[in-house]
Amino acid sequence: MAEAKSKKATKEDIEKNKAMAIVAWFVFFVPLLTDSKDSQFVKFHVNQALNLIIAAFGLYVIAMILTVISFGILFFSYFFVWLAVIAFWIIGLIGAANGDMKPLPIIGKFELIK
């Protein structure tokens, strides 16, 4: 979590790049292909979105394994994974729209894009 707080974005950076930060929550790599790739605010939200994608993939694999092992009894685990991913996505999207740089709970402390 210290990594995310150590890099601050200026108010001008946030206002100028808020749209690209929002885009990052839909397609995380697109802002990296634009002029806003050097923005601390955009990098933060691209990183958070990438963290969510990786966590979602891992959780879906775990849910699949649980479903197979239990012969389908634990099929509802997909529903809980889906709820968690949607909740984190909404938290991140609202944070980008509000100009916040608060890391996502649990998964937000990892810095994959520097």
pLDDT tens per residue across span 14-31? 999 999 999 999 998 999
Q: How confident is the model at residue 1 (pLDDT cuts 50, 70, 90)?
A: very low
Evaluate whether 30 touches 23 at the Cβ level (below 8 Å): yes
How many C-beta neighbours within 10 Å does residue 73 have? 10
| Structural domain includes residue 108 | no
Distance separating alpha carbons of residues 6 and 28, to the nearest angstrom: 22
Specify if 104 maps to a domain. Answer: no
CB 25 within 8 A of CB 45: yes
37 touches 5 (CB < 8 A): no
Closest CA to 52 of 74, 28, 76: 28
103 in a structural domain:
no
Q: What's the domain range around 63?
A: 2-98
Total tally of structural domains belonging to the chain: 1
114 domain residue, yes or no:
no
Q: What is the pTM of this model?
A: 0.86
Per-residue pLDDT at 76: 86
Asked if residue 105 is part of any domain, the answer here is no
